[in-house]
């Protein structure tokens, strides 16, 4: 390794290390670099995970996030994308054990950011599908829009997330049930909508490349009593899919 | 037809309505492209700003002063944004911010060796080729002395300009902050600066960190521009002539009108200098 690369290696390592033999570290002003890097990473995580920050409070959030930053610094200069493994970190973070829904709330915060910054492609015009005959419709593949995300939790994490994004506490009569959500982007912004297991199954089938016929058939087996046609038509009209 | 660039303001999304309404002659807006590299409402907002005013892209993450080449994916996304908003200026820093795949969100220093110069030249050339246009490089803020320089910063920048054809972004606040922190003479630095290559000037506020030895100055961009920095700016205009000048504010961002007032102050100095020429 040449001298320039070795300097960068040692400097980068010293930014997150408590002790270092790298000479510039002995200068008191080295703290400016350490503080700036850490603060920018913490600001990014706090901005990207607002529901988590609301639930645990700012101080707890930044203390926990600092541990994550030191072991998983950003990999991408787009700091709005930082935190790809933060939910997994929280899931395994022992001091968060009393909040079993925290990692799922973080996942939903993350899906929101992914949707917000996903690439622009035109959404599917449902009227074009409506013009097809039943046979052609069943053979059609539709793919979810790059800004569409879906979410399942074994807990009422969507309700907790919604309240936290508003800075409110959840109602005491919260029903402790699994929840699903659909994350959609319109020109006005990102919307997190209540969804059911059927919507999630249909979206997953379409994302995996199934035709609309195959997706409906599989859903009919899992959800024999559901109005699959209505649910599918609602999804197609919601802007959840991209043009083929 | 737009007139010459005068004084500009760092764009903040919360100011969008004021920015779209503002009709100050010569006003331009600068953004960090890193915030606009995806899709959705943010780049759409930038399109609306670009329809009304000239745009400058001021990158913070290309890590040009690095032994490693710039990220080609990042350059490709940046090129897409350049093609989309057609910026009048594109700039970056004489600093590094990534190492071994990790992004370290700061503008980090390095020893200005012959070896480092060769790396920076190569990285600037690659970036200019990828973006299809010249970049301007900004002089960084310094907080501590780094050993092993072969070049003074001003000579290093002049040589970089000579070898790559890049322009320079002269940050007057950084000159003031660095001169204070390293006990150098700011005016001597400016007199040695390759001013002919300057395409843009930055003005910003700084903070005093009393906790650190000698009251370190930190390039915090979170307050109005300090009087001694305005004084240095007048000196730059006197020796370099009028150049497009940007007011930067990234922390404690006030209402648009307050930034616009600082912008008008710079615009008045620019116009005074143009009249004198």
User: What total number of domains does chain B contain?
Assistant: 1
In tens, the pLDDT along B69-80 reads: 999 999 999 999
Contact criterion met (CB below 8 Å) for A236 and A131: no
Please indicate if any CB of chain A lies within 8 Å of the CB of B222: no
In tens, the pLDDT along B97-137 reads: 999 999 999 999 999 999 999 999 999 999 999 999 999 99
Q: What range does the domain containing B155 cover?
A: 7-276
| Planar angle of CA B238, B231, B257, nearest 5 degrees | 105
Please indicate if any CB of chain B lies within 8 Å of the CB of A187: yes
Contact criterion met (CB below 8 Å) for B107 and A36: no
Q: What is the DSSP letter of B109?
A: -
Question: Which DSSP string do the residues of chain A spell out, in sequence order?
Answer: --HHHHHHHHHHHHHH-SS---GGGGSTTHHHHHHHHHHHHHHHHHHH-HHHHHHH-HHHHHHHHHHHHHHS--SSS-GGG--TTHHHHHHT-GGGTT-TTHHHHHHHHHHHHHHHHSPP-PBP-HHHHHTS-HHHHHH----B-TT-EEEEESSSHHHHHHHHHTT-PPPTT-----EEEEEEEETTEEEEEEE-HHHHHHHHHHHTT--HHHHHHHHHHH-TTS-HHHHHHHHHHTT-BB--
- Within 10 Å of residue B225's Cβ, how many Cβ atoms? 21
Residue B2 lies in a domain: no
Predicted confidence at residue A53, as pLDDT, reads 97
SS3 assignment, position B101: coil
Torsion sign across C-alpha atoms A5, B100, B153, B207: negative
Within 8 A of B127 by CB-CB distance, chain A residues are: none
Task: With cut-offs at 50, 70 and 90, classify the pLDDT of residue A35.
Answer: very high
Chain B: residue whose CA lies nearest to A5: B67
Residue that has been written with the tokens 């005013």 in this structure: B53
Closest residue to A28, CB basis, from B68, B102, B212: B212
Cβ–Cβ of A33/B143 closer than 8 Å?
yes
**pLDDT above 60 (res B85):** yes
Tokens of A183: 């994350």
pLDDT > 90: percent of chain B: 95
Please indicate if any CB of chain A lies within 8 Å of the CB of B145: yes
CA-to-CA distance for B265 and B269, rounded, in angstroms?
Answer: 7
Taking chain A, what is the end-to-end CA distance rounded to the nearest angstrom?
Answer: 49
**pLDDT above 50 (res B1):** no
Strands B136-138 and A149-153: unpaired
Domain boundaries defined on chain A: 1-99, 104-244
Q: What is the DSSP letter of B170?
A: E
Within 8 A of A187 by CB-CB distance, chain B residues are: 41, 44
Please indicate if any CB of chain A lies within 8 Å of the CB of B132: no
Residue B146 lies in a domain: yes
In tens, the pLDDT along B152-170 reads: 999 999 999 999 999 999 9
Contact criterion met (CB below 8 Å) for B139 and B157: yes
Mean pLDDT of chain B: 96
Please indicate if any CB of chain B lies within 8 Å of the CB of A119: yes
Domain CATH number, residue B213: 3.20.20.150
Give the helix ranges, DSSP H, for B137-246: 153-164, 172-181, 186-192, 227-240
Within 8 A of A73 by CB-CB distance, chain B residues are: 102-104
Closest residue to B105, CB basis, from A3, A27, A74: A74
Burial of B43 (0-12, 13-18, 19+ CB in 10 A): buried
Predicted confidence at residue B213, as pLDDT, reads 62
Contact criterion met (CB below 8 Å) for A220 and A203: no
Burial of B128 (0-12, 13-18, 19+ CB in 10 A): middle
Closest residue to B39, CB basis, from A40, A80, A120: A120
Bridge partners (DSSP) listed for residue B7: B245
Closest residue to B144, CB basis, from A27, A80, A189: A27
Q: Which stretch of A98-112, A222-236, B171-185, B188-202 has the lowest confidence by average pLDDT?
A: A222-236
Contact criterion met (CB below 8 Å) for B232 and B186: yes
Within 8 A of B34 by CB-CB distance, chain A residues are: 77-79
Please indicate if any CB of chain B lies within 8 Å of the CB of A160: no
Averaged pLDDT, A52-79: 97
Averaged pLDDT, A163-180: 91
Chain B: residue whose CA lies nearest to A188: B41
Averaged pLDDT, A85-98: 97
pLDDT > 70: percent of chain B: 98
Contact criterion met (CB below 8 Å) for A170 and A163: yes
Within 8 A of A12 by CB-CB distance, chain B residues are: 99-100, 102, 104
- Selected residue of B16, B35, B38, B45 to mutate for chain A interface (largest A Cβ count, 10 A): B38
Select the more confidently predicted residue: B249 or A21: B249
Q: Where are the beta strands (DSSP E) in B7-111?
A: 7-10, 28-31, 55-58, 89-93, 96-99, 102-108
Please indicate if any CB of chain B lies within 8 Å of the CB of A31: yes
Mean pLDDT of chain A: 94
Residue B1 lies in a domain: no
CA-to-CA distance for A243 and A121, rounded, in angstroms?
Answer: 8
Please indicate if any CB of chain B lies within 8 Å of the CB of A76: yes
Please indicate if any CB of chain B lies within 8 Å of the CB of A41: yes
Cβ–Cβ of A80/B35 closer than 8 Å?
yes
Task: With cut-offs at 50, 70 and 90, classify the pLDDT of residue A171.
Answer: confident
ipTM, two decimals, is 0.95
In tens, the pLDDT along B197-247 reads: 999 999 999 999 877 666 899 999 999 999 999 999 999 999 999 999 999
Bridge partners (DSSP) listed for residue B58: B91
Please indicate if any CB of chain A lies within 8 Å of the CB of B156: no
């Amino acid at each position: 390794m040449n001298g320039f690369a070795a300097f960068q290696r040692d400097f980068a390592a010293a930014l997150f290390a408590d002790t270092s033999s790298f000479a510039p570290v002995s200068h008191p002003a080295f703290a400016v670099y350490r503080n700036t890097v850490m603060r920018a990473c913490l600001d990014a995580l706090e901005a990207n995970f607002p529901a988590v920050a609301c639930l645990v409070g700012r101080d707890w959030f930044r203390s926990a996030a600092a541990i994550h930053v030191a072991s998983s610094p950003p990999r991408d200069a787009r700091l709005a994308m930082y935190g790809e493994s933060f939910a997994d970190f929280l899931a395994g973070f022992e001091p968060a054990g009393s909040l079993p829904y925290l990692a799922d709330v973080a996942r939903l915060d993350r899906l929101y950011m992914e949707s917000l910054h996903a690439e622009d492609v035109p959404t599917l015009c449902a009227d074009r599908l409506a013009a097809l005959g039943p046979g052609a419709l069943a053979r059609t593949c539709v793919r979810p829009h790059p800004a569409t995300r879906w979410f399942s939790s074994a807990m009422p994490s969507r309700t907790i997330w919604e309240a936290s994004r508003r800075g409110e506490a959840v109602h005491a009569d919260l029903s402790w049930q699994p929840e699903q959500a659909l994350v959609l982007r319109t020109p006005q912004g990102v919307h997190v909508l209540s969804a059911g297991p059927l919507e999630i199954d249909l979206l997953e089938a379409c994302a995996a490349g199934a035709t609309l016929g195959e997706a409906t058939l599989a859903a009919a087996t899992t959800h024999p009593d559901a109005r699959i046609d209505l649910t599918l038509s609602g999804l197609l009209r919601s802007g959840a899919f991209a043009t083929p | 037809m737009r007139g010459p660039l005068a004084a500009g303001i760092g764009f903040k999304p919360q100011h969008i309505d004021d920015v779209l309404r503002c009709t100050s002659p010569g006003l331009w807006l600068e953004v960090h492209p890193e915030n606009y590299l995806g899709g959705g409402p943010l780049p759409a907002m930038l399109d609306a700003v670009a329809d009304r005013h000239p745009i400058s892209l001021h990158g913070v993450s290309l890590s040009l002063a690095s032994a490693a080449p710039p990220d080609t994916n990042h350059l490709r996304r940046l090129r897409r944004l350049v093609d989309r908003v057609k910026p009048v200026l594109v700039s970056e820093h004489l600093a590094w911010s990534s190492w071994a795949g990790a992004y370290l969100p700061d503008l980090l220093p390095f020893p200005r060796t012959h070896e480092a110069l060769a790396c920076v030249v190569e990285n600037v050339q690659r970036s200019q080729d990828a973006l299809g246009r010249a970049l301007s490089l900004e002089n960084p803020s310094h907080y501590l002395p780094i050993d092993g320089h072969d070049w003074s910063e001003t000579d290093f920048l002049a040589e970089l300009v000579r070898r790559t054809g890049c322009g320079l972004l002269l940050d007057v606040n950084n000159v003031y902050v660095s001169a204070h922190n390293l006990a150098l003479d700011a005016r001597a630095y400016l007199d040695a600066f390759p001013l002919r290559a300057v395409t843009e000037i930055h003005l910003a506020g700084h903070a005093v960190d009393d906790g650190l030895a000698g009251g370190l100055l930190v390039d915090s961009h979170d307050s109005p521009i300090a009087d001694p920095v305005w004084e240095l700016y007048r000196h730059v205009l006197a020796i370099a002539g009028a150049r497009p000048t940007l007011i930067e504010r990234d922390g404690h961002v006030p209402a648009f009108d307050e930034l616009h007032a600082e912008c008008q102050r710079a615009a008045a100095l620019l116009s005074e200098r143009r009249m004198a020429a």
